[in-house]
């Protein structure tokens, strides 16, 4: 009998099919990472794992390394002798990517295989509409569905005003208002949880992510620190962590990210209003700067779209390296690149031959 319900943990049909390709290996889901070590959940329980030595030389960017939320193929599924070895990462169905701290180029997978991403922002100190736009752009491109979670309602004196501000950028995304003082908050979050589904909490440090998750899990599995009198949050979660919720899927907690560099952004969804307007511009490739009959500039002049929002739109668009690609397409690109390198065609042929053998 298996101890862990992997199906509840998100091991769905698409991953089962992928995993089937690797004979004699076992599937696991990465729950956390400690330097070069990973905690992986398998059918038989949790175990410590490290990556296959060769792996290290083949990786091109940080995102080629296992990340929390990844389904990986291991050489064992029980804690019998030393660390298990991670041999492969199954293709991610979604990935929340940011530029790694300290480098301008390298990208880092914050969390993967997420269905719903809760973008958390507090209704007091952390409240920043432009940052919310940034998070929404990245979230949409991750392939997960974003939900805006406004925390610390108990510390907010102008809720209606803040909600109407959020309204100008949400573009149809669900908005939840939470407070650690109310039990309804957890109920509103719970509606998004279900067997086999994965949710993740993203947002600056100190906004109350772990507090919500603690409530969700029902017991203190993550540490939260005492509030400071100036109410500036401190780092309370030091690493990303995936927690299984019996019958309710999995939840991923993340430490705070003040700076969220953009690797890929889905501007068409995060800025659906501007996207829609731009279709009415006279010129199809209108940059909305000096062209005549520009519907976007007209909307700004008419006060329908704020100038700040438009400025942020231009800024984020410029920042996004893969402007037109979403995370899924980036993964595909990488996969293709992998097979076009030295010995690549041979691998590709072998790969497709074996794949055909299996499925037809
Ligand atoms: N007043 C108030 N404080 C909260 C609320 N939620 C969290 N906090 C406090 O804010 C601090 C940071 O919370 P934490 O959950 O660790 O934030 P995280 O860094 O986003 O995980 C802790 O001291 C919490 O007790 C809330 O709704 N209202
Ligand atoms: Mg935390
Ligand atoms: Zn225009």
Q: Coil, helix or strand for 272?
A: helix
pLDDT in tens, 158-190: 999 999 999 999 999 999 999 988 888 888 999
Residue nearest to atom 2 of ligand 1 (CA): 152
* 308 — pLDDT class (breaks 50, 70, 90): very high
pLDDT in tens, 200-216: 999 888 899 989 998 88
* 81 — pLDDT class (breaks 50, 70, 90): confident
Say yes or no: CB of residue 186 within 6 Å of ligand 1.
no
Q: Coil, helix or strand for 23?
A: coil
Domain 109-253 falls under CATH 3.40.30.10: no
pLDDT in tens, 21-49: 999 999 999 999 987 899 999 999 999 99
CATH entry, 271-324, from 1.10.10.10, 3.30.70.20, 1.10.40.50, 3.40.50.300: 1.10.40.50
Residue nearest to atom 8 of ligand 1 (CA): 208
Say yes or no: CB of residue 348 within 6 Å of ligand 1.
no
Whole-number Å distance, alpha carbon 295 to ligand 3 midpoint, is 5
Q: What is the structure's pLDDT at 360?
A: 32
Whole-number Å distance, alpha carbon 214 to ligand 1 midpoint, is 11
Whole-number Å distance, alpha carbon 285 to ligand 3 midpoint, is 8
Whole-number Å distance, alpha carbon 335 to ligand 3 midpoint, is 36
Q: What is the structure's pLDDT at 331?
A: 59
Gap between the Cα atoms of 11 and 223, Å rounded: 28
User: Which residue among 149, 151, 157, 206 is best mutated to probe the pocket of ligand 1, counting the most ligand atoms within 8 A of its Cβ?
Assistant: 206
Say yes or no: CB of residue 180 within 6 Å of ligand 1.
yes
**Mean pLDDT (whole number) for 334-356:** 50
Please provide the average confidence, as pLDDT, over all residues in the chain: 82
Q: What is the structure's pLDDT at 221?
A: 47
Class of domain 13-89: mainly beta
What residue segments make up the domains of the chain, in order of their start? 13-89, 109-253, 271-324, 327-360
Gap between the Cα atoms of 160 and 175, Å rounded: 13
Q: What is the structure's pLDDT at 233?
A: 35
Chain CA centroid to CA 193, Å: 16
Q: Is residue 346 packed enough to be buried (19+ CB in 10 Å), middle (13-18) or exposed (0-12)?
A: exposed
What is the 8-class DSSP label of residue 63? Answer: G
Answer whether residue 292 shows pLDDT above 50. Answer: yes
What own/partner pairs with CB < 8 Å and gap ≥ 24 does 173-178 have?
Answer: 173/136, 173/146, 173/147, 173/148, 174/147, 174/148, 175/147, 175/148, 175/150, 176/118, 176/147, 176/148, 176/149, 176/150, 177/123, 177/150, 177/153, 178/149, 178/150, 178/151, 178/152, 178/153, 178/208, 178/212
Q: What is the structure's pLDDT at 106?
A: 67
| Residue 197: both structure tokens together | 């589904």
**Mean pLDDT (whole number) for 107-123:** 92
Rg, the chain, Cα only: 22
* 240 — pLDDT class (breaks 50, 70, 90): confident
**Mean pLDDT (whole number) for 107-121:** 91
Whole-number Å distance, alpha carbon 152 to ligand 1 midpoint, is 7
This prediction's pTM:
0.81
In angstroms, the Cα distances linking 12 to 7, 15, 137, 144, 286 are 6, 6, 27, 16, 43
């Amino acid at each position: 009998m298996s101890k862990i319900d992997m199906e509840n943990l998100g091991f769905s049909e698409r991953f089962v099919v992928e995993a089937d390709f690797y004979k004699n290996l076992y599937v696991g889901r990465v729950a956390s990472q400690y330097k070069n070590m990973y905690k992986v959940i398998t059918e038989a329980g949790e175990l410590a794992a490290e990556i296959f030595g060769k792996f290290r030389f083949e990786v091109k960017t940080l995102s080629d390394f296992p990340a929390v939320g990844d389904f990986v193929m291991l050489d064992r599924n029980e804690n019998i002798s030393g660390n298990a070895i991670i041999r492969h990462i199954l293709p991610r169905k979604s990935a929340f990517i940011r530029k790694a701290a300290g480098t301008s180029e390298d990208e880092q997978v914050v969390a993967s295989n997420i269905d719903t991403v809760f973008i958390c922002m507090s209704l007091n100190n952390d409240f920043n509409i432009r940052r919310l736009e940034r998070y929404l752009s990245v979230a949409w491109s991750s392939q997960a569905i974003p939900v805006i979670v406004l925390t610390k309602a108990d510390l907010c004196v102008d809720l209606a005003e803040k909600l109407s501000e959020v309204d100008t950028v949400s573009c149809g995304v669900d908005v939840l208002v939470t407070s650690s003082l109310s039990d309804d908050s957890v109920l509103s979050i719970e509606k998004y949880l279900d067997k086999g589904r994965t949710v993740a909490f993203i947002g600056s440090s100190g906004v109350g992510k772990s507090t919500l998750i603690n409530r969700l899990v029902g017991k203190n599995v993550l540490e939260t620190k005492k509030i400071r009198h100036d109410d500036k949050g401190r780092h309370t979660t030091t690493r990303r962590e995936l927690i299984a919720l019996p019958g309710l899927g999995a939840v991923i907690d993340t430490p705070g990210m003040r700076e969220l560099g953009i690797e890929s952004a889905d501007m068409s969804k995060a800025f659906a209003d501007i996207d829609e307007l731009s279709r009415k511009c006279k010129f199809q490739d209108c940059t909305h700067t000096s062209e005549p009959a520009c519907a976007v500039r007209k909307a700004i002049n008419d006060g329908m779209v704020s100038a700040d929002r438009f400025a942020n739109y231009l800024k984020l668009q410029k920042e996004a390296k893969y402007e037109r690609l979403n995370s899924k397409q980036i993964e595909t690109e990488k996969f293709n690149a992998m097979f076009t390198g030295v010995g690549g065609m041979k691998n590709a042929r072998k790969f497709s031959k074996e794949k055909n053998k299996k499925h037809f």
